[in-house]
A and B are shown apart, each in its own frame.
Chain A
Amino acid sequence: MDLDTSRRAFLQAAAAGLGIAVIRVAPATATPAAMDEAVRKVVGASKVSKGRVTLELPPLSENGNTVPLTVSVESPMTQAEHVRAIHIFTELNPQPDVVSFRLGPRAGRARVSTRIRLANTQTVTAIGELSDGSFWSTSAAVVVTLAACLEDA
């Protein structure tokens, strides 16, 4: 997958040496403001508190195409008190939403793993939505490196 960032275009040009660069159009990247709006769509007017959510991401990713992620939320996961959903957002991908997991007391444990794409070195944010209507969040920064020699398909 070619994540068309200006950094990739630069690296290609550098690798080309003699300036035979493939000009790639950089897509609109999301901004932290776009991410805030995406978060607002999920939480509404509610306050988002820091804590209770843990994001496990490699601090340095070898390839932004596939970054393993595990998110967990502290919760007894009973009918009375459980995690309803976990939402993942990024601030610099072309769009801010990554995935929403819908859980419930039958999950037993609020812990989900997946693999995401990161277009750039950036911060990933996870928001846990609890059964009492409260929202909790955490963030983690990932440095994303690109493949050194890019293939012309």
Chain B
Amino acid sequence: MSARTARLLTTPALLLLATTAPAGEIPTAERRSGYELMGRETRAMQDDDTANPGMLGVLEGEAAWARKTGAAGRACADCHGDARASMKGVAARYPAFDAALKRPVDLEQRINVCRTDRQQAPALAYESRELLALTAFVARQSRGVPIDIAVDARTQPFLDAGRATFYRRQGQLHLACNQCHDENWGKRLAGNPIPQAHPTGYPVYRLEWQSLGSLQRRLRGCLTGIRAEPYEYGAPELVDLELFLMWRARGMSIESPAVRP
């Protein structure tokens, strides 16, 4: 790409002028977590569990894990015991197929399935403090575990739907995810480096949010950014996209709870 074209591509409005480049997946050897694009100080915030603000959520989740709740009067711990053992690797393989719902569900949805079915408690609202805390606690148990999404006859159609969303131009800015995240990662958008968009650290403590947030929140933020109508929380389109993004990040390690700008 010429230097001139690269400059034209550095603002979203002008990305309209970009020719549709072939859908080039990032080669495995070139995959980088957003962690590597952050400044030294932000990385230090993530690295230290005694300084990582996401750990406040993990602590809350740890308390929630042990708390009996719902009409069944059960705590997560009553069935799952010590999360360090029972939840290790779980976040690395979500979204996963749910046989009863006949489609993949993400970790937040899986936690709610447990709440409603096993604890007979009401489902926790998306982005609620408690759901983020529980998800952060569960995801923390998979830190360092390589992402491993099962692809089989059941999940394939949903993976394909997610992939189609990733490559589809959307919104008033008529942009597809791959145009920034496959083809222009590392370049700067309004001063900030564009990451490859691997969801290795969710729920993430995003400095912009000043709180933990889910991958769905981030995706809705991106959709708003390209001036597309964001899908509702829990929408199948979002979960399919989550599935595709996690599959795209296969082999990369979970970092949860990550810190991002």
Residues in B with CB closer than 8 Å to A151 are 208-209, 220-221, 224-225
A-B contact count (CB 8 A): 74
A66 and B207 in contact, given A14-B11, A14-B13, A17-B12 (Cβ under 8 angstroms): yes
Q: Please, how many residues of chain A have a CB less than 8 angstroms from a CB on the other chain? A: 24
In the assembly, what is the distance between CA of A147 and CA of B191, in Å? 8
Contact of A152 among B13, B189, B207, B224 (CB under 8 A): B224
Nearest B residue to A17 by beta-carbon distance? B13
B128 within 8 A of A: no
Residues in B with CB closer than 8 Å to A152 are 224
A27 within 8 A of B: no
Can you list, as one digit per residue, whether each of B188-224 has a CB less than 8 Å from chain A (1) or not (0)? 0111101000000000000111100000000011101
Q: How far is the CB of B20 from chain A (nearest CB, A)?
A: 19
Instruction: Decide if A17 touches B172 in the complex (CB within 8 Å).
Output: yes
Instruction: Decide if A62 touches B39 in the complex (CB within 8 Å).
Output: yes
Residues in A with CB closer than 8 Å to B45 are 66, 68
Q: Which applies to chain A's interface (DSSP): helix, strand, loop or mixed?
A: loop
Q: B interface vs A, CB < 8 Å?
A: 11-13, 38-42, 44-45, 172-173, 189-192, 194, 207-210, 220-222, 224-227, 261
Can you report 24 A-B residue pairs in the complex whose CB atoms are below 8 A from each other?
A: A1-B210, A11-B190, A14-B11, A15-B13, A15-B227, A17-B173, A18-B227, A58-B41, A60-B39, A62-B192, A63-B207, A66-B210, A68-B45, A145-B190, A145-B191, A146-B191, A147-B208, A148-B190, A148-B191, A148-B225, A149-B189, A149-B221, A151-B208, A151-B225
